Amino acid sequence: MRYDVAVIGAGPAGSFAAEKLSSLGHKTIIIDPCYKKKACAGILTAQYAREYKIDDAYVERELKGIRLSFRDIRAEITYRKAVEYSIDREAFDSFNLNEAINAGAGLKKDIALSLEENDSSVAIRTTKEQIDADYAIVASGVSDLSRLCGGAKKYAYCVQQKKNEEPDDYFEMNLMHGGYSWSAPKKNHVLTGTSSLNGYPDIPGEKGLIPLEPAEKTFSNRFLLAGDAAGFVSPFEGEGIFYARRSGEIAAEVLSGAISGNNALASFEKRWKKEFDFSTLAMLARFLSNDMVLEAFVREIRDNERFRYWLDAFFSPLGFTVVTLL
Protein backbone atom coordinates (compact mmCIF):
# COMPACT_ATOMS: atom_id res chain seq x y z
CA MET A 1 0.00 0.00 0.00
CA ARG A 2 1.22 3.48 -0.82
CA TYR A 3 0.34 6.40 1.43
CA ASP A 4 -0.04 10.10 0.83
CA VAL A 5 2.12 10.88 3.87
CA ALA A 6 4.22 8.76 6.21
CA VAL A 7 4.79 10.38 9.60
CA ILE A 8 7.85 9.06 11.44
CA GLY A 9 7.41 9.58 15.17
CA ALA A 10 4.34 9.60 17.42
CA GLY A 11 5.28 12.45 19.75
CA PRO A 12 3.33 15.72 19.66
CA ALA A 13 4.81 16.80 16.31
CA GLY A 14 4.01 13.53 14.58
CA SER A 15 0.64 12.81 16.16
CA PHE A 16 -0.80 16.27 15.59
CA ALA A 17 0.51 16.30 12.01
CA ALA A 18 -1.07 12.91 11.35
CA GLU A 19 -4.36 13.95 12.94
CA LYS A 20 -4.58 17.06 10.78
CA LEU A 21 -3.60 15.26 7.58
CA SER A 22 -6.13 12.50 8.21
CA SER A 23 -8.89 14.99 8.99
CA LEU A 24 -8.15 16.62 5.63
CA GLY A 25 -8.69 13.29 3.88
CA HIS A 26 -5.08 12.26 3.21
CA LYS A 27 -4.07 8.61 3.60
CA THR A 28 -1.58 8.82 6.47
CA ILE A 29 0.52 6.26 8.31
CA ILE A 30 2.43 6.81 11.59
CA ILE A 31 5.63 4.82 12.13
CA ASP A 32 6.75 4.53 15.76
CA PRO A 33 7.82 1.63 18.01
CA CYS A 34 5.53 2.96 20.78
CA TYR A 35 7.74 1.68 23.58
CA LYS A 36 10.49 4.26 23.97
CA LYS A 37 10.17 6.62 26.92
CA LYS A 38 11.17 10.23 26.39
CA ALA A 39 13.27 12.03 28.98
CA CYS A 40 11.11 15.11 29.43
CA ALA A 41 10.11 17.30 32.36
CA GLY A 42 6.56 17.14 31.06
CA ILE A 43 5.50 20.78 31.37
CA LEU A 44 2.78 22.40 29.28
CA THR A 45 3.76 26.03 29.36
CA ALA A 46 1.55 29.10 29.42
CA GLN A 47 2.14 29.49 25.69
CA TYR A 48 0.73 26.01 25.09
CA ALA A 49 -2.18 26.51 27.50
CA ARG A 50 -3.15 29.77 25.80
CA GLU A 51 -3.34 28.14 22.37
CA TYR A 52 -4.67 24.65 22.99
CA LYS A 53 -7.25 22.74 25.00
CA ILE A 54 -5.88 20.83 27.99
CA ASP A 55 -7.36 17.43 28.87
CA ASP A 56 -7.53 15.96 32.37
CA ALA A 57 -6.45 12.59 30.96
CA TYR A 58 -2.78 13.56 31.15
CA VAL A 59 -2.62 16.45 33.65
CA GLU A 60 -0.93 15.60 36.94
CA ARG A 61 -0.69 19.01 38.58
CA GLU A 62 -1.53 22.65 37.90
CA LEU A 63 1.54 24.67 38.83
CA LYS A 64 1.58 27.81 40.93
CA GLY A 65 4.92 29.15 39.75
CA ILE A 66 8.62 28.64 39.26
CA ARG A 67 11.63 28.78 41.56
CA LEU A 68 14.99 29.79 40.12
CA SER A 69 18.40 29.55 41.72
CA PHE A 70 21.87 30.59 40.65
CA ARG A 71 24.76 30.01 43.03
CA ASP A 72 23.36 31.06 46.43
CA ILE A 73 20.64 33.33 45.01
CA ARG A 74 17.10 32.01 45.00
CA ALA A 75 14.05 33.63 43.43
CA GLU A 76 10.40 32.69 43.08
CA ILE A 77 7.67 33.74 40.68
CA THR A 78 4.12 32.93 41.72
CA TYR A 79 1.88 33.01 38.65
CA ARG A 80 -0.90 35.55 38.59
CA LYS A 81 -1.57 35.72 34.87
CA ALA A 82 0.08 32.56 33.56
CA VAL A 83 -1.23 29.02 33.84
CA GLU A 84 0.91 25.95 33.25
CA TYR A 85 0.58 22.24 33.88
CA SER A 86 2.78 19.32 34.85
CA ILE A 87 1.74 16.32 32.78
CA ASP A 88 2.34 12.60 32.46
CA ARG A 89 4.29 12.63 29.20
CA GLU A 90 3.49 9.01 28.33
CA ALA A 91 -0.23 9.63 28.88
CA PHE A 92 0.01 12.85 26.83
CA ASP A 93 1.63 11.07 23.89
CA SER A 94 -0.81 8.17 24.10
CA PHE A 95 -3.79 10.56 24.15
CA ASN A 96 -2.55 12.45 21.09
CA LEU A 97 -1.73 9.27 19.17
CA ASN A 98 -5.23 7.94 19.82
CA GLU A 99 -6.69 11.21 18.54
CA ALA A 100 -4.71 10.79 15.30
CA ILE A 101 -5.87 7.18 14.92
CA ASN A 102 -9.48 8.21 15.58
CA ALA A 103 -9.11 10.79 12.82
CA GLY A 104 -8.17 8.00 10.40
CA ALA A 105 -4.38 7.66 10.59
CA GLY A 106 -2.86 4.20 10.50
CA LEU A 107 -0.11 3.03 12.85
CA LYS A 108 2.83 0.70 12.29
CA LYS A 109 4.67 -0.16 15.51
CA ASP A 110 8.14 -0.28 14.05
CA ILE A 111 11.42 1.65 13.88
CA ALA A 112 12.22 3.66 10.75
CA LEU A 113 15.85 3.02 9.82
CA SER A 114 16.28 5.03 6.64
CA LEU A 115 14.47 7.32 4.24
CA GLU A 116 15.19 7.62 0.53
CA GLU A 117 13.45 10.09 -1.75
CA ASN A 118 13.12 10.37 -5.50
CA ASP A 119 11.21 12.71 -7.77
CA SER A 120 7.81 11.25 -6.97
CA SER A 121 7.94 9.42 -3.62
CA VAL A 122 9.80 8.38 -0.49
CA ALA A 123 10.80 4.88 0.56
CA ILE A 124 11.11 4.28 4.30
CA ARG A 125 12.92 1.16 5.41
CA THR A 126 11.88 -0.19 8.80
CA THR A 127 13.03 -3.27 10.71
CA LYS A 128 10.21 -5.26 9.07
CA GLU A 129 9.40 -3.78 5.67
CA GLN A 130 9.56 -0.91 3.21
CA ILE A 131 6.83 1.73 3.39
CA ASP A 132 6.18 3.91 0.34
CA ALA A 133 4.53 7.32 0.41
CA ASP A 134 4.30 10.46 -1.67
CA TYR A 135 5.69 12.55 1.21
CA ALA A 136 7.02 12.14 4.73
CA ILE A 137 7.34 14.07 7.97
CA VAL A 138 10.37 13.22 10.10
CA ALA A 139 9.30 13.83 13.71
CA SER A 140 11.45 11.22 15.43
CA GLY A 141 13.25 13.58 17.83
CA VAL A 142 17.03 13.80 17.97
CA SER A 143 17.65 10.37 16.47
CA ASP A 144 19.84 8.52 14.01
CA LEU A 145 17.19 8.99 11.33
CA SER A 146 16.74 12.72 11.92
CA ARG A 147 20.52 13.17 11.73
CA LEU A 148 20.60 11.30 8.42
CA CYS A 149 17.88 13.64 7.18
CA GLY A 150 19.80 16.80 8.15
CA GLY A 151 18.20 17.38 11.54
CA ALA A 152 19.47 19.25 14.59
CA LYS A 153 23.27 19.17 14.89
CA LYS A 154 23.80 20.92 18.24
CA TYR A 155 22.30 19.51 21.41
CA ALA A 156 22.73 19.03 25.14
CA TYR A 157 22.79 15.74 27.04
CA CYS A 158 20.19 15.12 29.74
CA VAL A 159 19.60 12.44 32.38
CA GLN A 160 16.25 12.25 34.16
CA GLN A 161 15.38 10.46 37.41
CA LYS A 162 12.14 9.68 39.24
CA LYS A 163 12.31 10.43 42.95
CA ASN A 164 9.73 9.36 45.49
CA GLU A 165 9.55 12.75 47.15
CA GLU A 166 6.54 14.78 48.23
CA PRO A 167 5.80 17.18 45.34
CA ASP A 168 4.64 20.77 45.65
CA ASP A 169 3.23 23.11 42.99
CA TYR A 170 6.42 24.80 41.74
CA PHE A 171 8.75 23.95 38.89
CA GLU A 172 12.36 24.44 40.01
CA MET A 173 15.50 25.30 38.04
CA ASN A 174 19.07 25.43 39.33
CA LEU A 175 21.18 27.33 36.80
CA MET A 176 24.91 26.78 36.54
CA HIS A 177 27.71 27.45 34.10
CA GLY A 178 27.63 24.91 31.28
CA GLY A 179 24.50 23.13 32.46
CA TYR A 180 21.44 23.11 34.65
CA SER A 181 19.27 20.90 36.80
CA TRP A 182 15.53 20.92 37.28
CA SER A 183 12.75 19.43 39.36
CA ALA A 184 9.21 18.90 38.04
CA PRO A 185 6.45 17.97 40.52
CA LYS A 186 4.06 15.21 39.47
CA LYS A 187 0.97 13.80 41.18
CA ASN A 188 2.80 11.76 43.81
CA HIS A 189 6.50 12.00 42.93
CA VAL A 190 9.10 14.34 41.44
CA LEU A 191 11.09 14.14 38.20
CA THR A 192 14.58 15.61 38.40
CA GLY A 193 16.93 16.19 35.51
CA THR A 194 20.51 17.27 34.93
CA SER A 195 21.98 18.52 31.67
CA SER A 196 25.43 19.10 30.24
CA LEU A 197 27.12 19.99 26.97
CA ASN A 198 29.93 17.52 27.59
CA GLY A 199 28.20 14.18 27.46
CA TYR A 200 25.65 12.55 29.74
CA PRO A 201 25.98 13.34 33.45
CA ASP A 202 27.35 10.34 35.34
CA ILE A 203 24.15 9.54 37.21
CA PRO A 204 21.53 6.80 36.73
CA GLY A 205 18.31 7.55 34.90
CA GLU A 206 16.68 7.94 31.50
CA LYS A 207 18.88 9.62 28.91
CA GLY A 208 17.81 12.16 26.31
CA LEU A 209 19.07 14.85 23.95
CA ILE A 210 17.83 18.44 23.85
CA PRO A 211 18.36 20.31 20.55
CA LEU A 212 19.83 23.77 20.98
CA GLU A 213 19.12 25.35 17.60
CA PRO A 214 17.03 24.68 14.47
CA ALA A 215 18.41 22.55 11.66
CA GLU A 216 20.06 24.45 8.82
CA LYS A 217 17.34 23.24 6.43
CA THR A 218 14.01 21.75 7.51
CA PHE A 219 12.63 20.71 4.13
CA SER A 220 13.59 18.56 1.19
CA ASN A 221 11.81 17.72 -2.05
CA ARG A 222 9.69 15.04 -0.41
CA PHE A 223 9.94 15.36 3.36
CA LEU A 224 9.82 17.89 6.20
CA LEU A 225 11.47 17.93 9.64
CA ALA A 226 9.28 18.84 12.63
CA GLY A 227 9.58 19.08 16.41
CA ASP A 228 12.85 18.11 18.09
CA ALA A 229 14.02 16.49 14.84
CA ALA A 230 14.11 20.00 13.37
CA GLY A 231 15.66 21.51 16.51
CA PHE A 232 12.52 23.39 17.48
CA VAL A 233 13.18 24.18 21.14
CA SER A 234 13.21 27.72 22.45
CA PRO A 235 16.69 28.62 23.77
CA PHE A 236 15.11 31.23 26.06
CA GLU A 237 12.24 29.28 27.60
CA GLY A 238 13.36 25.69 27.11
CA GLU A 239 9.93 25.12 25.55
CA GLY A 240 9.63 22.14 23.22
CA ILE A 241 6.11 20.71 23.32
CA PHE A 242 4.39 23.82 21.97
CA TYR A 243 6.84 24.10 19.07
CA ALA A 244 6.53 20.39 18.37
CA ARG A 245 2.75 20.56 18.10
CA ARG A 246 2.63 23.76 16.11
CA SER A 247 5.39 22.69 13.70
CA GLY A 248 3.54 19.41 13.12
CA GLU A 249 0.38 21.33 12.28
CA ILE A 250 2.24 23.65 9.90
CA ALA A 251 3.95 20.66 8.25
CA ALA A 252 0.55 19.01 7.71
CA GLU A 253 -0.89 22.16 6.17
CA VAL A 254 2.09 22.56 3.83
CA LEU A 255 1.98 18.92 2.72
CA SER A 256 -1.77 19.07 2.18
CA GLY A 257 -1.19 22.05 -0.07
CA ALA A 258 1.62 20.25 -1.90
CA ILE A 259 -0.60 17.20 -2.49
CA SER A 260 -3.21 19.53 -3.98
CA GLY A 261 -0.56 21.26 -6.12
CA ASN A 262 -0.94 24.60 -4.35
CA ASN A 263 2.51 25.10 -2.81
CA ALA A 264 6.05 23.73 -2.56
CA LEU A 265 7.61 22.25 0.56
CA ALA A 266 9.95 25.23 0.83
CA SER A 267 7.01 27.23 2.17
CA PHE A 268 7.27 25.22 5.41
CA GLU A 269 10.49 26.96 6.39
CA LYS A 270 9.06 30.38 5.56
CA ARG A 271 6.01 29.71 7.71
CA TRP A 272 7.73 28.44 10.85
CA LYS A 273 10.32 31.22 10.69
CA LYS A 274 7.48 33.72 10.60
CA GLU A 275 5.84 32.19 13.69
CA PHE A 276 8.88 31.04 15.71
CA ASP A 277 11.23 33.89 16.58
CA PHE A 278 14.15 31.70 17.59
CA SER A 279 16.75 34.31 16.59
CA THR A 280 15.52 36.83 19.16
CA LEU A 281 15.19 34.16 21.84
CA ALA A 282 18.72 32.92 21.10
CA MET A 283 20.03 36.46 21.44
CA LEU A 284 18.37 36.78 24.85
CA ALA A 285 19.79 33.41 25.88
CA ARG A 286 23.33 34.43 24.89
CA PHE A 287 22.93 37.65 26.87
CA LEU A 288 21.86 35.69 29.95
CA SER A 289 24.66 33.12 29.56
CA ASN A 290 27.08 35.62 31.11
CA ASP A 291 27.38 34.69 34.80
CA MET A 292 27.31 38.30 36.02
CA VAL A 293 24.23 39.10 33.96
CA LEU A 294 22.50 35.89 35.02
CA GLU A 295 23.25 36.56 38.69
CA ALA A 296 21.87 40.10 38.39
CA PHE A 297 18.80 38.76 36.57
CA VAL A 298 17.93 36.18 39.24
CA ARG A 299 18.64 38.73 41.97
CA GLU A 300 16.27 41.20 40.29
CA ILE A 301 13.54 38.54 40.19
CA ARG A 302 14.08 37.94 43.90
CA ASP A 303 14.06 41.59 44.96
CA ASN A 304 11.83 43.44 42.48
CA GLU A 305 8.13 42.67 42.66
CA ARG A 306 7.30 44.76 39.59
CA PHE A 307 9.90 42.86 37.59
CA ARG A 308 8.38 39.54 38.72
CA TYR A 309 4.93 40.74 37.68
CA TRP A 310 6.24 41.79 34.27
CA LEU A 311 7.91 38.42 33.71
CA ASP A 312 4.78 36.58 34.78
CA ALA A 313 2.67 38.61 32.36
CA PHE A 314 4.92 38.41 29.30
CA PHE A 315 7.32 35.50 29.55
CA SER A 316 5.83 32.91 31.89
CA PRO A 317 6.79 30.23 32.38
CA LEU A 318 10.55 30.75 32.50
CA GLY A 319 11.86 27.27 31.80
CA PHE A 320 15.41 28.50 31.13
CA THR A 321 16.45 24.94 30.47
CA VAL A 322 19.13 25.92 27.99
CA VAL A 323 19.96 29.49 28.99
CA THR A 324 23.36 28.57 30.38
CA LEU A 325 24.20 26.24 27.51
CA LEU A 326 24.45 28.80 24.70
C-beta separation of 244 from 44 below 8 A? no
pLDDT in tens, 175-201: 876 667 899 999 999 999 988 888 898
pLDDT in tens, 279-307: 776 676 676 677 888 788 888 889 888 88
Q: pLDDT digit of tens for each residue in the chain (326 aa)?
A: 899 999 999 999 999 999 999 999 999 999 999 987 788 899 998 889 989 999 999 999 999 999 989 999 999 988 887 789 999 999 999 999 999 999 999 999 999 999 999 999 999 999 999 999 999 999 999 999 999 999 988 888 999 999 999 999 999 988 876 667 899 999 999 999 988 888 898 889 999 888 988 999 999 999 999 999 999 987 655 679 999 999 999 999 999 999 999 889 999 999 999 999 877 766 766 766 778 887 888 888 898 888 887 776 654 444 443 333 33
pLDDT in tens, 230-269: 999 876 556 799 999 999 999 999 999 999 998 899 999 9
Does the pTM exceed 0.75?
yes
Domain with residue 7: its CATH number is 3.50.50.60
Strands lying side by side in the sheet with 190-196: 73-78, 65-70, 170-176, 179-185, 190-196, 155-163, 206-211
The beta strands (E) that lie in the chain are given as 2-8, 28-31, 43-44, 59-63, 65-70, 73-78, 84-87, 106-108, 112-117, 122-126, 130-138, 155-163, 170-176, 179-185, 190-196, 206-211, 223-225
| Intra-chain end-to-end CA distance of the chain, in Å | 45
Helical (H) or strand (E) element with 294: helix 291-303
Please provide the average confidence, as pLDDT, over all residues in the chain.
89
| Residue 195 lies in domain | 2-325
Q: How many domains does the chain have?
A: 1
